[in-house]
Amino acid sequence: MNNNSDVKFDVSSVDLFYGDFQALKNINLTVLEREITAFIGPSGCGKSTLLKSLNRMNDLVEGCKITGTIKFNGLDIFKDMEVTELRKRVGMVFQKPNPFPMSIYDNIAFGPRTHGIKKKSKLDEIVETSLRQASIWDEVKDRLKKPALGMSGGQQQRLCIARALAVKPEVILMDEPTSALDPISTIKIEELCTELKKDYTIIIVTHNMQQATRIADKTAFFLLGEIIEFDKTEKIFSDPSDSRTRDYITGHFG
C-alpha cells in the first residue's frame, strides 16, 4: 500500500466532456512523487486531455465539463486551490518549444518576477540554478541577454524546462516534449528527465513507446478516453494484462 505522503496526484472517477463529446471516461490514477509516469496510446485517446486537467489548463476550453475528483497533495484542485497556486506548483512543458520573444535571462526570470521576486542578485541566482538544472547553463551562460528565439529547437525546449523550474514547482507536466526534436536533443531531454526525477515528479505524454520504456517508472495506456492499463512500465511492455495493450505495443494498431 502506498504511503499517502508519497501520493502527488490522486485522480478518481474523472469524466471529462467537451460539449457532448466525452473525452475521458472514469479515469482513476495515482501518481507518486519523484517518479516519471508516462501516458501512451493512439492520437486522440485522452492522454493530453488528462495531462492538461492536472493543472486546470482545460478550464480555458469552452464547453469543458469535468466531474469526479483530482487531488494534488490531498487537496481538491477545483475546490481547495487557487488556479494560480496550482500552476505554480504544477509546471507545464509543451510539444513545441515556446520561448517568450525576449532574452534567455528574461525567459527564466519571468515567472519569479510575476511572483514578486525583484532583487537582481536573487533573480541571477534563480536563472543560473534553473539553467543548470535543465543542463543548458554551459551552452548559454555567455549569451543570457541574447534572444531566446535564436537558439536551436533542442536548446529552446531545455530553456522551457528551465523556465518551468524557475518558479520551483513540485510536478512537471510534459506534453510530447521531444516530438518536434532531433534524436540527439531527444536523448538530452530524456537524460534530463531522469536527473530531474530526484527532486521532481514528472508526468509525460509520449507517442514514442521506446521513450516510455527508457525513462518511465509507471505507464498508463489510454484508448478512446479510458485507461486500459496502468502499471510498472516494465510490466506494461513485457507482460501486459490486457490484450488491447499488447496489440498496441506490438504495433497491431495505433
User: What percentage of residues in the chain have a pLDDT greater than 70?
Assistant: 97
Residue 252: the pLDDT is 80
Per-residue pLDDT for 1 more than 80? no
Q: What is the pTM of this model?
A: 0.95
**Is residue 58 classed exposed, middle or buried when 0-12, 13-18 and 19+ CB atoms within 10 A define those classes?**
buried
Per-residue pLDDT for 167 more than 80? yes
Compute CA distances 60 → 53, 57, 65, 247, whole Å.
10, 6, 11, 35
CA dihedral (120, 115, 128, 211) in degrees, to 10, reads -170
| Residues in contact with 236: Cβ distance below 8 Å, sequence separation at least 6, in sequence order | 219, 221, 229, 245, 249
Separation CA 238–CA 15 (nearest Å): 30
Compute CA distances 45 → 29, 50, 52, 74, whole Å.
16, 10, 13, 27
Residue ranges in the chain assigned as alpha helix (H):
47-53, 83-89, 104-114, 120-133, 137-140, 153-165, 183-196, 209-215, 233-238, 243-249
Give the gyration radius of the chain's Cα atoms: 18
- Residue found under cell 501486459: 240
Q: What does the pLDDT look like over 187-223, one tens digit per residue?
A: 999 999 999 999 999 999 999 999 999 999 999 999 9
- Residue found under cell 538544472: 133
Angle at 112 between CA 109 and CA 115, to 5 degrees: 145
| Strands 201-205, 171-175: pairing kind | parallel
Determine contact, residues 202/171, Cβ cutoff 8 Å.
yes
| Closest residue by Cα to residue 205 from 90, 50, 77, 66 | 50
Phi, psi dihedrals of residue 88, rounded to the nearest 5°: -70, -35
Q: What does the pLDDT look like over 114-161, one tens digit per residue?
A: 999 999 999 999 999 999 999 999 999 999 999 999 999 999 999 999
Residue 103: the pLDDT is 98
Determine contact, residues 148/159, Cβ cutoff 8 Å.
yes
